[in-house]
Amino acid sequence: MKRIGILTAGGDTPPLNATIHGAVIRANQLKLEIYGFIKGFNCLFNPRVPHVHLNPLFQAIPELDPTKGGTLIGSSRDYVDPNKKDELDLIASRLKYLGIEGLICIGGDGTLNGLQPLAERLPTVLAPKTIDNDLGLNFPSEPDEWVRALDSSKAGYTYKRTPSSTVFDLNQIVNYATPGYATAVMVSAQGIERIRTTAESHRRIAIIEVMGRHSGYIALGTAYGQPDIILIPESPVDIDRVVDRVKYLYDLQKNVVIVCGEGIVDEQGVELAESRSTDPGGNVVFTGAADALRDRLIHIIGDGYFQRYRRGTSAKEAIFTRKVGHTQRGGRPIQFDRFYASLLGAKAVDLLIEGRNNAVSVLQYQSRKGFHVEGYDANRFRDRWGLIHARYLHLSLYDSILMKPSKLGIDYLLPIFTDAIGNDDMEYMRQTLFDPGNLVQPYHSINTDVHKRIRYIDAVD
Ligand code: F6P
């Protein structure tokens, strides 16, 4: 191989540039040219294939900074459609014209699903990313546990898990943690700490919503911010238990902090989020879980309860919601994310060189040896119908009575987070946030610089 391509697909995450950097450094060592495709798969639909040569003379371009959040080559939620054979053939011929002999897609489960038809046309591998931490398997045989049933309401199938008989073991997890997860948890946990003191001062109940779609990993990790109650999508909300706990805590400390994942469900398995739409990749987008939970608490607890403590306060005034929102997806990646994202990017290059088409670089954990990266065949992520499902947080990581991480959940978190923040992460903030230059210099976007490097091909179709 002489030249490969790389793209970033789906929602951004903080260490995307670190993954690209790891791939570029490895490509430099191997004397491989590496082209970055602009805006994910979207670029491949463009006959002129806008791209950037990331390592002219086998040196990384200076704009590629592994400590900067986001992606210098841009991302989008466009995916290739396996049924559009002509479009796929056109993409293959465009890449061939450009001399691309292998492709690295940095993405999550949606990207891995979309990668298959491309892998039938040119060597293609995935380097993982997602703040949701839902790309992976709780154990290698997990895909076999999915069953499907005809769903007349949507003229297709619904997929669900059969009860598992597999013993859950942290050492068996495939892709223990995904680049982006650690930084998202750090931002969320910090947000919780900050909201706590205002809830304490004003005797309020805060409900803080974190991202993660159907997966409760981010919510679980927020335990580091010491919320009182954590609700995850995998464990239906037992509203009576939540109300009892809220009242107990409010009686004790006059404030309560609840964290909820955006995809939490009620006892019937129905999402609390009020609106539910899908993005172009078919991913569910949730809105309103925290507000729906607040409405229920207001209704059940009622004004009288609060008036006993603070004259004149209604339940509406006492219970408030906040979304951590996109801050958990943006900004500088912390050390854990940067380090392993780089290794996973480099491993993706190795997978291409080793001829492991349709493989994924994964972060594995062994309690005796710690973390290491490996290659894993994408097919092993698929159920028997070929679908890749987002990983659910295994329920043994969560204590549904205490509504907190279980002992095993704590054991899961420790290796990721104990040394996740580097000294330089703190020093960076000290040096840059209140830099007087920030007040006078306008923000200089990476897009402005990268734009000058974009090259196009003459249309081949
Ligand atoms: O998958 C990452 C994620 O941040 C989810 O946690 C969240 O539901 C979604 O993306 C938000 O997507 P958007 O980019 O459309 O706001």
Whole-number Å distance, alpha carbon 326 to ligand 1 midpoint, is: 8
Model pLDDT, residue 317: 95
- Is it the case that residue 459 has pLDDT exceeding 70? no
Q: How far apart are CA 7 and CA 74, in angstroms?
A: 8
Residue-level pLDDT at 276:
66
Beta strands 398-399; 75-76: pairing state: unpaired
Q: Residue 212: CB within 6 Å of ligand 1?
A: yes
213 lines ligand 1 (CB under 6 A): yes
Q: Which ligand 1 atom is nearest residue 213's CA? A: 8
- Does ligand 1 lie within 6 Å of residue 405's CB atom? no
Query: Exposed/middle/buried for 275, CB within 10 Å: 0-12, 13-18, 19+?
Result: exposed
Q: Specify the residue with its C-alpha closest to ligand 1, atom 9.
A: 285
Q: Which pLDDT tens digit goes with each residue over 300-339?
A: 999 999 998 777 789 999 999 999 999 999 999 999 999 9
Which ligand 1 atom sits closest to the C-alpha of 132? Answer: 6
Give one DSSP letter per residue of 40-99, joined into a string. Answer: TTHHHHSTT--EEES-GGGS--TT--TTSSS-TT-EES----TT-HHHHHHHHHHHHHTT
Residue 342 predicted with pLDDT over 70:
yes
The count of other CB atoms within 10 Å of the CB of residue 390 is 19
Residue 284 is predicted with a pLDDT of 76
Q: Which atom of ligand 1 is nearest to the CA of 108?
A: 1
Coil, strand or helix at 304: helix
Task: Report the separation in Å between the CA atom of 131 and the middle of ligand 1, taken as the mean of its atom positions.
Answer: 9
Kindly report which listed range (6-10, 164-168, 185-189) carries the lowest average pLDDT score: 164-168
Residue 405, phi then psi, degrees to nearest 5: -60, 140
Q: Give the mean pLDDT of 100-113.
A: 94
Question: How far does the centroid of ligand 1 lie from the alpha carbon of residue 261, in Å?
Answer: 12
Kindly tell me if the per-residue pLDDT of 32 is higher than 90: yes
| pLDDT at residue 153 in the model | 76
